[in-house]
Structure 1
Amino acid sequence: MAKVAVLVFPGSNCDHDVYHATKHVLGQDARFVWHKEGSVGEADLVVVPGGFSYGDYLRAGAIARFSPIMKDVVRFAATGGLVLGVCNGFQVLCEAELLPGALMRNASLRFACKDARLRVESTATPFTAELETGEVLTVPVAHGEGNYTADDATLDELEAEDRVVFRYVDAAGEAVPEAAPNGSARNIAGVRNARGNVLGMMPHPERCVEPVLGTADGAKIFRSALAHLGAEVGDVA
């Protein structure tokens, strides 16, 4: 059984979804970690959830990056600990410089809330090691600032180092511009760090871990990470 630390900031609204997914659905030892705590404890996996940390004042993730707990998250990641940032969590990880790039306002200037198709681009991370390259997952998005942006040199480096983990695609599995709900550069939906232990993604895998939700594709991402940790996980009903 893996120990999962779910961070909670003022304004987090997906922390309970992550807790439910990891504890009640996947049967792991999950607990909430308040942003003012100084340590993630004996965690095997740290999840930085979605929401609107600190009301997204200044810009999304900018204030949460300075929360006391984030200093230990940086330490945890540096030791090889698994860190998953989802939506606002992705924004926080970029602000904390655990991941490159930034998340800007959606190109449409509208909030995007719908199912998105994600093509698995890389299996060189524990979060996708159990998946197949080219596999297409259906995972919901819900964000106003999910437009992944980086300079061309950084984007080229991410591509060359196999660090683009997920890409938005259409029904045919093609990464056409129209498939990205936010205008992300090169249709990028998720990236990893060089070591592969830190993943940031805008879509919400914790919102699709049970068939009753329409798709359980999100469970595949959690199950892959848990398998890497050697945790036993039952079948998703």
Structure 2
Amino acid sequence: MAFAAQLFQALRHNWRHYMVEAAGIMAFLTVSSVASVVFHHPDSALARALGPSAWVQRIGVGLAVGLLIVAMAYSPWGKRSGAHFNPAVTLGFWQLGHIGTADALWYVLAQFSGALLAGFGMFWLLKPWFAHPEIHYNTTRPTEGAHGWALALGAELLISAGLMLVLLWSLHSARFKQWAGALVGFTLALFVVVESPLSGMSLNPARSLGAAVAAGSGSELWLYFLGPLLAMWTTAELYRRYRERHRPSERPPQYPDTSN
């Protein structure tokens, strides 16, 4: 009963934070879906203009996604919630003690809800083009082959740990704190270009679930839960231990107050 009361109190005080988180992942999945059609579908004039090179087309998708993340991170709404938009990021911040358990649960619920709504919305709005093999409903999938799942899992672990490290390092740096949103956006754009052929570049269980459920294709969805969640939680814990040992002189970053 006590924890239920905490959940209710958190909802009363911080529901705007949760709405921002749901809207953020909705925007991410919407923009990435539209960008996939615009830059990859053979009937797209822009895709034809860029030529058949897949990596050039991925640059377009990466720029669209990266710029969106930067815009959301620096927007008043993103600053309100902390701009997680990802259950794995929320898990990492919860491990560090920067967000309470009740708020973390509401964040995750909002993120998954927003992703599912966006996934179904894009499925119906983009249906004439979404099924093309180059797009496949914007789902995240391993490469084909007997060991494709292992390669995808390893890639997800690596890029998820890398993203969390960039985020924590920049937020705890007096020099680069103000550039944290830009650095994360650049990192995501880079991953879209160089890593997406391996796993689809998820980093985000909610993003993968929203697209997979709408497409009715989730046989290897566990990869995109295990990889990001394990990697970001582990990176956050290792970073916490590192900071405790070295005790840096700069003040810790100010996170949005979501405690109750």
TM-score for the superposition, normalised by structure 1: 0.29
| Structure 1 or 2: more strand by fraction | 1
Task: Name which structure has the greater RCO, CA cutoff 8 Å, separation 6+.
Answer: 2
| Structure 1 or 2: more helix by fraction | 2
